Amino acid sequence: MQKNGKVALITGVTGQDGAYLSALLLSKGYIVHGIKRRASLFNTVRIDHLYRDPHEEDVRFFLHHGDVTDSSNLIRVIQQVQPDEIYNLAAQSHVAVSFEEPVYTANSDALGTLRLLEAIRILGLAKRTRFYQASTSELFGQVRETPQTEQTPFYPRSPYGVAKLYAYWITVNYREAYGLYACNGILFNHESPLRGENFVTRKITRALARIKLGLQETLYLGNLSARRDWGHAKDYVEAMWRMLQLDAPEDFVIATGVQHSVRDFVTAAAAELGIVMRWEGKGLEEKGYDEKGRCLVRVDPRYFRPAEVETLLGDAAKARKLLGWSPATSFDNLVREMVLEDLRTAQRDQLVKRHGFQVHDHHE
Ligand code: NDP
Ligand code: GDR
């Protein structure tokens, strides 16, 4: 691969988007540095295939221990790396968890962004380093208009959304105050086989694959009627990169413009496994049955949120026009890819079980 001489720093490199973005930038010839958190178990499973022994020649992917709650760490890493581009993907990104850990969520998601911007300023890199902030459709929350665009007013509905609101505005503020090339990608939900297992899409594809193979009986979900605009993470990281290649920084909505309910997602994922879902009942009593009348899906109020975002639908016309970006993956192909990948994992687990070994499940 031809080197392009550019250096990128990614926070949140071990997450879903961090993995896809690292692969994309490496394919474009970047040197990529990532910040990963210290953990008691290995937490680099999504990027292990990109990592090479640092003693080998021509290594272009480097990991640094760090945390967006630690200013001194961020300043040191940025000083050492001297990045041309910083992608701030690090966040406590689970909306439901943000109600449980609101102060930590604000510290990492809101102040973490400020710490990075301050590090750029303190190190005198404001004219050199371009900054991408992982903003979110959760900013729209209780939506004021449909579809949502860059002009739609914000009304966040969770500690996560409110923390990301601060991060959005501090990014705009540093752009206006210090002339930083800083921009917000207002990304709608994007999923993939690398999606965290406790986000609803992956929870569904994983559980249905396991149910299909007899490893699990029931899938418990919360609000089945929530509607989202779901795209593929691989397409969305391409938009992040394009945002940092313009002449001047701008904020962009990134979305597919197509909306489905959680219930629709279950039905589509089940269909990929040859299961025809039938829904009966309302509210807490709603259940999803297969064609043999077995109950596969039930509602558990444990997964309801204290305040919910019922519906999101984005209009990415500005990105289409200025970035030449449009999503490459359809909803059906996204669901298919996720189901097939989780089916492979479930098949492996089934084999392990058949040979008398224990298969551990994860619990939320
Ligand atoms: P993930 O939850 O998969 O990844 C989050 C990453 O942030 C992980 O690498 C995690 O590390 C890291 N992280 C969490 N807290 C800290 C911290 N205090 N210091 C350093 N690193 C930290 O999220 P996604 O990849 O899905 O999303 C990437 C970003 O985009 C997030 O900011 C998210 O809020 C935002 N976003 C996501 C959307 C989506 O639909 N996926 C839509 C819009 C915005 P570890 O692996 O150790 O947990
Ligand atoms: P979201 O994603 O909150 O939109 O945030 P998530 O997949 O968690 O929820 C989507 C919708 O599904 C409903 N839901 C459930 N959600 C989960 N996690 N588990 C369940 O059992 C369940 N049942 C129903 C939720 O109530 C919600 O309405 C994601 C994250 O990636 C954020 O970081 C990002 O900013 C936004 O997308 C855009």
Q: State how far the Cα of 310 lies from the Cα of 132, in Å rounded to an integer.
A: 27
Q: State how far the Cα of 89 lies from the Cα of 354, in Å rounded to an integer.
A: 40
Which of 16, 13, 160, 23 minimizes the C-alpha distance to 87? 13
Q: State how far the Cα of 197 lies from the Cα of 174, in Å rounded to an integer.
A: 35
105 with 98: CB under 8 angstroms? yes
pLDDT digits (tens, 9 = 90+) for 28-63: 999 999 999 999 999 999 999 998 877 788 899 999
In the reported structure, the alpha carbon of residue 287 is separated from the centroid of ligand 1 by a whole-number distance in angstroms of 32
pLDDT band, residue 131 (cuts 50/70/90): very high
Share of residues in the chain with pLDDT > 70 (%): 99
115 with 109: CB under 8 angstroms? no
Neighbours of 44 (CB within 10 A): 16
Q: State how far the Cα of 295 lies from the Cα of 164, in Å rounded to an integer.
A: 38
Q: State how far the Cα of 262 lies from the Cα of 277, in Å rounded to an integer.
A: 13
Q: What is the pLDDT of residue 88?
A: 99
339 with 208: CB under 8 angstroms? yes
Question: Which residue from 133, 199, 308, 363 has its CB within 8 A of the most atoms of ligand 2, so it is best to mutate?
Answer: 199
Please name which ligand lies nearest the alpha carbon of 140.
2
Q: State how far the Cα of 95 lies from the Cα of 90, in Å rounded to an integer.
A: 14
Among the atoms of ligand 1, which is closest to the Cα of residue 66?
20
In the reported structure, the alpha carbon of residue 15 is separated from the centroid of ligand 1 by a whole-number distance in angstroms of 5
The whole-number average pLDDT for the span 270-287 is 98
Instruction: Check pocket membership of 12 for ligand 1, CB cut-off 6 A.
Output: yes
- Catalytic-residue membership of 136: yes
Q: State how far the Cα of 11 lies from the Cα of 88, in Å rounded to an integer.
A: 5
Neighbours of 351 (CB within 10 A): 12
In the reported structure, the alpha carbon of residue 14 is separated from the centroid of ligand 1 by a whole-number distance in angstroms of 8
Q: State how far the Cα of 358 lies from the Cα of 364, in Å rounded to an integer.
A: 19
DSSP symbol at 285? G
Which of 326, 344, 323 minimizes the C-alpha distance to 272? 344
Residue type, position 209, single letter: A
pLDDT exceeds cutoff 80 at 363: no
Q: What is the pLDDT of residue 52?
A: 82
- Catalytic-residue membership of 311: no
Ranges of H-type helices in 65-158 = 71-81, 95-100, 102-105, 112-122
Please name which ligand lies nearest the alpha carbon of 16.
1
Given the residues 30, 85, 138, 152, the one annotated as active site: 138
189 with 314: CB under 8 angstroms? no
Instruction: Check pocket membership of 98 for ligand 1, CB cut-off 6 A.
Output: no
Task: List, in sequence order, every residue forming a beta bridge with 227; answer none if it has no partner.
Answer: 261, 311
Q: State how far the Cα of 149 lies from the Cα of 154, in Å rounded to an integer.
A: 10
The whole-number average pLDDT for the span 315-322 is 98
Residue type, position 179, single letter: G
Q: State how far the Cα of 161 lies from the Cα of 164, in Å rounded to an integer.
A: 5
Question: Whose C-alpha lies nearest to ligand 2, atom 17?
Answer: 200
The whole-number average pLDDT for the span 281-293 is 97
Question: Whose C-alpha lies nearest to ligand 1, atom 2?
Answer: 93
Q: State how far the Cα of 364 lies from the Cα of 356, in Å rounded to an integer.
A: 26
Name the helix (H) or strand (E) containing 333: helix 331-354
Edge-first strand listing for the sheet containing 295-299: 219-221, 295-299, 287-289, 278-280
Ligand 2, pocket residues at CB < 6 Å: 93, 95-96, 136-138, 188-189, 198-201, 203, 221-223, 226, 228, 262, 303, 305, 308-309
Q: What is the pLDDT of residue 1?
A: 58
pLDDT digits (tens, 9 = 90+) for 205-254: 999 999 999 999 999 999 999 999 999 999 999 999 999 999 999 999 99
pLDDT exceeds cutoff 70 at 23: yes
For 81, the token pair is 């790396």
The length of the chain, given as a count of residues: 364
Instruction: Check pocket membership of 314 for ligand 1, CB cut-off 6 A.
Output: no
pLDDT band, residue 287 (cuts 50/70/90): very high
266 with 275: CB under 8 angstroms? no
Distances in Å between the Cα of 178 and the Cα atoms of 38, 121, 122, 170, 247 are: 33, 8, 11, 11, 17
184 with 172: CB under 8 angstroms? yes
pLDDT exceeds cutoff 90 at 288: yes
- Catalytic-residue membership of 44: no
277 with 289: CB under 8 angstroms? yes
pLDDT exceeds cutoff 70 at 145: yes
Q: State how far the Cα of 99 lies from the Cα of 184, in Å rounded to an integer.
A: 24
115 with 68: CB under 8 angstroms? yes
